[in-house]
Structure 1
Amino acid sequence: MRFLSTPAVVTALRSAGCVFAEDEAELILSSARTPDEVTAMLDRRIAGLPLEHVLGWARFRGLRITVDPGVFVPRRRTEFLVEQALAAAPGASLVVDLCCGSGAVGAALAAALDGAALHAADIEPTAVRCARRNVADFGGHVHEGDLFAALPGTLLGRVDLLAANVPYVPTDEVPLLPPEARDHEPWVALDGGADGLDILRRVAAEAPRWLAPGGHLLVETSARQAPLAVETFRHCGLSTRLAVSEEWDAHVVIGTRAETLG
């Protein structure tokens, strides 16, 4: 059994190019149960696996979210989407998390909205299995399928909050992503089509049918894509605004269904 000291772990991580070597070393050492586990986790991290896949979890808005290998890692900037959703509908009783990945967004919303019903969906079976564990404590339901096709028809016209952390990287730019993402996260969770907005368009087009009167759709996008994303929401009949966090470099498009139709 080989023992690695904290300085040795930090040095190994720094040599592998880990910018936050000290923080990562602390997380690895506090998560491993034995010296052998420290060595195994360190080896996986040096090999290029995302830290969250090495640890088996990610911290997201105060929650410890399980992240299995091959599942999209929740980004800290996406906490801004959760904050905007809660500000828009603090009394939401029915929440949907589309393109849910690990289920981090849905779990965070359900944790803050005590008693809200939660449904989540993803097209990736591995993500669905992971999300089910993360939303179980909140009574959440996770469905496998392509966007709205995965959801029960009973939700039509009843959703107060629809959060969709859709893939928005243009296809040609996916190979330019850091190796942690392009090599270890599912392509379908990254690739947003030619301009990165293909999935956003599909979600915006169908969302008004699923939203309750006054219900909100929130989607994360990039600064470059934001103007076209806003226009897409408006074209689909949603009252739309853009929320921006300079601290997190986060851009969230918020669309609201009218209280009455016609």
Structure 2
Amino acid sequence: MPHRSDRSPSSPSPALPSRDALAATLRAAGCVFAEDEADMIFAAANGDPCAVEAMAARRAAGLPLELVVGWAEFGGRRIVVEPGVFVPRRRTEFLVEQALALAPDASVVVDLCCGSGAVGAALAAALGGVDLHAADIDPAAVRCARRNVESLGGHVHQGDLFDALPARLRGRVDILAANVPYVPSDEIALLPAEARDHEPRVALDGGTDGLDVLRRVAARAPAWLAPNGRLLIETSPHQTPGALTALTDAGLHAELAVCEDRPARVVIGTPGGAG
């Protein structure tokens, strides 16, 4: 066997590609905003050409950009995201905005089906000093959410919806944000490859009509909400009537908020059957 000193020198590190070259590679892979993505990859790689090469290859293979660079922008914050975790959508910022407008003095906040914890983190950062709890059934999501929530003094729990939460929160929640999975099961295959192939099915699949989890949340929400608390759930245009019915069937006063620009729809439930 050769001695360690007899080994040939390692190959030289690859040269750092130019921004234009990287953008061209990304554009050829179908990335619409190739220049912007190239800038994000360069920043995340911190001048390491091997890291740039590896990130570009993962992105060209279809991995979502947020998972390539390790973060997503949401609510003006950088949210850590990891492989196997749902990437927060910018349209969901509308849910956060509605919650802050309706409950600006909230002191107890729950982020149900939290994924990365983006919604809870954005709410806690805006409100300051809240008792924040986030919960998800997926262990990978819980691990990721802890990186985003615990730095804000929040707590992350693993379990099935309300079963994951401390019993002491019953009747005390001012903002109950639930970005539930709402894609109908037979439409999962129609999603863009970035979601279909790289995000957990449990974060996407809402059952036959996409409303299974929403109905479960609505049914139990009244027991957890404070007297003036708000339940906020994102939904889609064709599911809106069913979502509103689920809230009213649970004894909540149901309203709809719409943002056409993003686009986004949020159903809002208030206890007591009155706004």
**Which category of TM-score, normalised to the shorter sequence, fits these structures?**
over 0.9
- 1:111 aligns with 125
Which of the residues 25, 34, 42 maps onto 1:21?
Answer: 34
Q: Structure 1, residues 144-163: CA drift from partner, whole Å, max 9, x if none?
A: 00000100111111100000
- 1:137 aligns with 151
SS where residue 87 of structure 2 aligns? coil
Q: Residues of 2 paired with 1:145 and 1:232: CA distance?
A: 22
Q: Which amino acid aligns with 1:15?
A: A
Task: Please state how far the C-alpha of 1:255 moved relative to its aligned partner.
Answer: 0.5
SS where residue 97 of structure 2 aligns? helix
Q: Residues of 1 paired with 2:224 and 2:25: CA distance?
A: 50
Which of the residues 104, 112, 116 maps onto 1:102?
Answer: 116
Q: Which amino acid aligns with 1:27?
A: M
SS where residue 212 of structure 1 aligns? strand
- 1:47 aligns with 61
SS where residue 129 of structure 1 aligns? helix
Q: Residues of 1 paired with 2:130 and 2:43: CA distance?
A: 34
Q: Which amino acid aligns with 2:33?
A: F
Contact 1:213–1:259 (8 Å) recurs in 2: no
Alignment partner of 1:181 is 2:201: no
Q: Residues of 2 paired with 1:29 and 1:258: CA distance?
A: 52
- 1:157 aligns with 171
Q: Structure 1, residues 3-41: CA drift from partner, whole Å, max 9, x if none?
A: 211011111111101111111111111111211111110
Q: Residues of 2 paired with 1:208 and 1:70: CA distance?
A: 32
Percent of aligned positions with the same letter in both sequences? 68
SS where residue 237 of structure 2 aligns? coil
Q: Which amino acid aligns with 1:31?
A: A
Q: Residues of 2 paired with 1:204 and 1:259: CA distance?
A: 13
Q: Residues of 2 paired with 1:140 and 1:247: CA distance?
A: 31
Q: Which amino acid aligns with 2:40?
A: L
Q: Structure 1, residues 174-201: CA drift from partner, whole Å, max 9, x if none?
A: 0111111011100000000000000000
Contact 2:185–2:209 (8 Å) recurs in 1: yes
Contact 1:50–1:180 (8 Å) recurs in 2: yes
Alignment partner of 1:12 is 2:25: yes
Q: Which amino acid aligns with 1:147?
A: L
Q: Which amino acid aligns with 2:123?
A: L
- 1:235 aligns with 249
Contact 1:214–1:259 (8 Å) recurs in 2: no
Q: Residues of 2 paired with 1:249 and 1:171: CA distance?
A: 22
Q: Residues of 1 paired with 2:233 and 2:206: CA distance?
A: 13
Q: Which amino acid aligns with 1:221?
A: T
Task: Please state how far the C-alpha of 1:259 moved relative to its aligned partner.
Answer: 9.1
In the superposition, the TM-score normalised over structure 2's length comes to: 0.93
**Residues matched between the structures, number:** 260
Alignment partner of 1:75 is 2:81: no
Contact 2:252–2:273 (8 Å) recurs in 1: no
Q: Which amino acid aligns with 1:23?
A: D
SS where residue 172 of structure 1 aligns? helix
Contact 2:254–2:269 (8 Å) recurs in 1: yes
Q: Structure 1's 95 and 259: CA in aligned 2 closer, same or farther, altered over 3 A?
A: farther
Task: Please state how far the C-alpha of 1:258 moved relative to its aligned partner.
Answer: 2.5
SS where residue 194 of structure 2 aligns? helix
Q: Structure 1, residues 191-244: CA drift from partner, whole Å, max 9, x if none?
A: 000000000000000000000101100000001101111111111111111000
Q: Which amino acid aligns with 2:249?
A: H
Q: Residues of 2 paired with 1:205 and 1:116: CA distance?
A: 25
In the superposition, the TM-score normalised over structure 1's length comes to: 0.98
RMSD of the alignment, in Å? 1.0
- 2:99 aligns with 85
Q: Residues of 1 paired with 2:271 and 2:176: CA distance?
A: 11
Q: Residues of 2 paired with 1:26 and 1:50: CA distance?
A: 15
Greater Rg, structure 1 or structure 2?
2
